[in-house]
Structure 1
Amino acid sequence: MSQTIADINAKIKAGKAKVLTATELKSLVVDIGVTQAAKQVDVIVTGTFEPMESSGAILNLGHTDPPIKIRTCWIDGVPAYAGFGAVDIYLGATQEADPSDESPQYRGGGHAIADLIAGKTLTFKAIGHPNDCYPRANFETTITKESINQFYLFNPRNLYQNFIVGVNGGEETLYTYLGPLQPRLGNAVYSNPGAISPLWNDPDLQLIGIGTRIFMGGGIGYVAWEGTQHFPLQKRLENRTPIGPAATLALIGDAKQMTAEWVRGCYFRNYGASLMMGVAVPLPVINEEVVARAAVLDEELVAPVIDFSIPRRVRPIFGSVSYAQLKSGKITIAGSTVRTAPLASLHLSEEAAKTLKDWILKAEFTLTEPVAMLPCDRAFLPQDVRGF
């Protein structure tokens, strides 16, 4: 069987498309096999809800009277970048509030972004660069998502195809981007939700490309480019899934459409602020091979177990474990049983996929053809001190 995205969209608009979440598709394949399952699905919906640290929002404040060219600014006490345009700014998710500000120290850009999406009113302060075009020296006001022009998320790195499992073989608790890691292998933390996550189900990026329409934070977004640290050349198993961090995506979406349910600020103790977001990506079943790739199970996916107690770029590895083992709640490392916990919400990852499935079944969402495919030849370059 084969069909085009246009064929699938025609079915969606006619209310005849057969749509399954990745979890439903995998169960169906187990029951009846790839060939028969491929006859019963037009769209497979993948999803995740996890920390997406390399994220941020672009905002256009609109011009003041007299006009200002913003040099430095703060949104709810969190510094934002103002190095382009007069009133265009970028608020990074991991940027933290200034210690001298009245905002709590655990607050960062992810919280401010989530609060704006939730409809809250936030303070805005700016220092200008006075000149003949923009004479104003400073400005203070309050803003909401309705009182500014553009407000969209542009996230340079989201949706890791795979990631690591963090452990701590040392003697002291470590506070990391995976949360606290207890000493003497006291716990293991993983961040990828496993087999339902988007890029596991399209391992060679044959479907997802630049221009792919997605569910992003409760609204509609798009794949904008390859993500930073995009590393499709990672070593892979026979099923084409990577053994460690591999492909990533850069995403863009209108934050004014997004909802508080799907975008939340978060803070990692002694590490910093971040952003949790729900994303769902539809995969068009254009042939049987799509179903074969998406049938991959947690038992068939592995991640490396990394010891954070060694503070180097390349850390010791305690081998690899499957996502089925991780989701069981415990793994074995060096003969010891270690409890595991996900950083991603497995429940909300499923709910993101179910939400997009519902949109498609109601013909509120159609699929797009990528305007270009993502590169599959990117190496991963380290950074070292070089001479001048």
Structure 2
Amino acid sequence: MRTVAQINEKIADRTVKVCTIEELKSKVKKQGIKKTYQEVDVVCTGTFEPMESSGAIINLGHTDPPIKIRQCWLDGVPTYAGFGAVDLCLGATVPSEYGSNKELGDHVPSNLPERGGAHVIEDLIAGKAVPIKAVGQVTDCYPRASFESTITMDSINQFYLYNPRNLYQNFIVGVNGGDRTLYTYLGPLLPRLGNAVYSSVGALSPLLNDPDLEVLGIGTKIFLGGAQGYIAWEGTQHFPRQKRLENRTPIGPASTVALVGDAKQMNHQWVRGCYFKNYGSSLMLGVGIPIPLLSEKIVANCAVDDKDIVAPVMDFSIPRRVRPSFGLASYAHLKSSKIKIEGQVVRVASVASLYLSRQVAQALKQQILDAQFTLTQAVAPLPCDRTFIAQDGAI
């Protein structure tokens, strides 16, 4: 068996053998698991997809005189100020209040209904100046009552991305069996099964290639938005006990991870705000994870194919937590752009970008080949016993 330390030695002396996840799957089909294991040290996975549970932590630095911020807007987007005096938390899904809050100024960009915190995060990473307006709680330590200026990535202290939930290990396919268009976190779903939408890159997705989280864990270094980040913790709604196929891939939403990385090192090519009509904003994020091939078993896990991974087809026309299902669809069928539901041919699209996901995996591969990216051993495993708790007692 290999070790992470041995692989890092190969990275340092430029002898490491690296594949993207697609290249590895192709090798296994041609020459089998044993020979592929002998020839490849690391496989690079990647994805570029939206995730609502995203945000940024920002420290402004103190003003003179100091201010204890208790209300704050960045380019019209309300920003949580319940930490320290000038610590802020900017959520990706928070909508802009320009137009509804006259105190924010006269300038109202025309596209504001489609802007949210994710777009402000993208702007800061792109080096743009962002207006800030803050209201303070006046105290002896912090006598200033208000603050108005602009900030950039270089004019603030800490600016790091923190995603409480990302890299869903599988997800759902949304359809609409009702009689009106529904506007959802997957985008518009047309009535009478007019379309189907999913959000995953299937067999290329990072966690589907380590189904039982035997390799990845807390402290795993990753490619995050063009910079180097880490798996910080289990993600919210982490549900590893989801039902699974014999190949150990889950049949619906399962494990998730929390991610953290220095946004000042990121590239807005890989961090983009997006908007789902009549629903809200989200953050498109490029995430790449290197999987060290420490054994033949890990190679076998990474060889899983789209035809052997399935997702549940859920009817969003029923406004309940547990929705009716039209059964399971394989990712091979989903990626063909058409599936059959009760005899009806339904067009399929993904909100995840397969093209950009491949670019993420390729970018990570090149960083490893150039000795710019080394691997880390997880310092603790991700929990495998979490159940999914719902608020069934609510009225």
TM-score by length of 1: 0.99
Which residue of 1 is the match for residue 26 of structure 2?
A: 27
The 2-side partners of 1:279 and 1:319 are apart by 29
Which residue of 2 is the match for residue 382 of structure 1?
A: 390
Deviations 1:256-296 (A, max 9, x none): 01011100000001100111000000000111111000000
State the shift of 1:385 in Å. Answer: 3.4
State the shift of 1:386 in Å. Answer: 5.3
Q: Does 1:277 align with 2:285?
A: yes
Q: Does 1:243 align with 2:254?
A: no
Q: Does 1:10 align with 2:18?
A: no
The 2-side partners of 1:386 and 1:352 are apart by 42
Secondary structure of the residue aligned to 2:245 is coil
Question: Quick one: which amino acid aligns to residue 91 of structure 2?
Answer: G
The number of residues matched between the two structures is 386
Which residue of 2 is the match for residue 183 of structure 1?
A: 191
Secondary structure of the residue aligned to 1:309 is coil
State the shift of 1:52 in Å. Answer: 1.3
State the shift of 1:384 in Å. Answer: 2.9
Counting only pairs closer than 5 Å after superposition, residues 277-316 of structure 1 correspond to structure 2 as 277-316=285-324
Secondary structure of the residue aligned to 2:27 is helix
1:127 to 124, 129, 135: 135
Deviations 1:85-105 (A, max 9, x none): 000000000000014252512
Q: Does 1:212 align with 2:220?
A: yes
Structure 2 unaligned spans of 5+: 102-107
Q: Does 1:100 align with 2:100?
A: yes
Counting only pairs closer than 5 Å after superposition, residues 20-59 of structure 1 correspond to structure 2 as 20-59=19-58
Structure 1 unaligned spans of 5+: none
The 2-side partners of 1:122 and 1:205 are apart by 39
Which residue of 2 is the match for residue 342 of structure 1?
A: 350
Secondary structure of the residue aligned to 1:16 is coil
The 2-side partners of 1:386 and 1:49 are apart by 35
Secondary structure of the residue aligned to 2:131 is strand
Q: Does 1:71 align with 2:70?
A: yes
Question: Quick one: which amino acid aligns to residue 51 of structure 1?
Answer: P
Question: Quick one: which amino acid aligns to residue 184 of structure 2?
Answer: T
Question: Quick one: which amino acid aligns to residue 216 of structure 2?
Answer: I
Secondary structure of the residue aligned to 2:154 is coil
Which residue of 2 is the match for residue 194 of structure 1?
A: 202
Deviations 1:278-325 (A, max 9, x none): 000000011111100000010110000000000011000000000000
Counting only pairs closer than 5 Å after superposition, residues 142-157 of structure 1 correspond to structure 2 as 142-157=150-165
The 1-side partners of 2:239 and 2:77 are apart by 32
Counting only pairs closer than 5 Å after superposition, residues 345-384 of structure 1 correspond to structure 2 as 345-384=353-392
The 2-side partners of 1:76 and 1:210 are apart by 34
Secondary structure of the residue aligned to 1:35 is helix
The 2-side partners of 1:111 and 1:280 are apart by 22
Which residue of 1 is the match for residue 338 of structure 2?
A: 330
Which residue of 2 is the match for residue 164 of structure 1?
A: 172
For the aligned residue pairs, the C-alpha RMSD in angstroms reads 0.8
The 1-side partners of 2:30 and 2:81 are apart by 55
Secondary structure of the residue aligned to 1:324 is helix
1:261 to 249, 257, 269: 269
The 2-side partners of 1:187 and 1:341 are apart by 8
The 2-side partners of 1:354 and 1:75 are apart by 34
The 1-side partners of 2:205 and 2:224 are apart by 14
The 1-side partners of 2:90 and 2:394 are apart by 31
The 1-side partners of 2:134 and 2:302 are apart by 49
Which residue of 2 is the match for residue 81 of structure 1?
A: 80
TM-score by length of 2: 0.97
The 2-side partners of 1:165 and 1:274 are apart by 18
The 2-side partners of 1:351 and 1:132 are apart by 53
Secondary structure of the residue aligned to 2:231 is strand
Secondary structure of the residue aligned to 2:365 is helix
Question: Quick one: which amino acid aligns to residue 71 of structure 2?
Answer: T
Secondary structure of the residue aligned to 1:84 is coil
Secondary structure of the residue aligned to 1:299 is helix
Question: Quick one: which amino acid aligns to residue 376 of structure 2?
Answer: T
The 2-side partners of 1:307 and 1:233 are apart by 23
Question: Quick one: which amino acid aligns to residue 92 of structure 2?
Answer: A
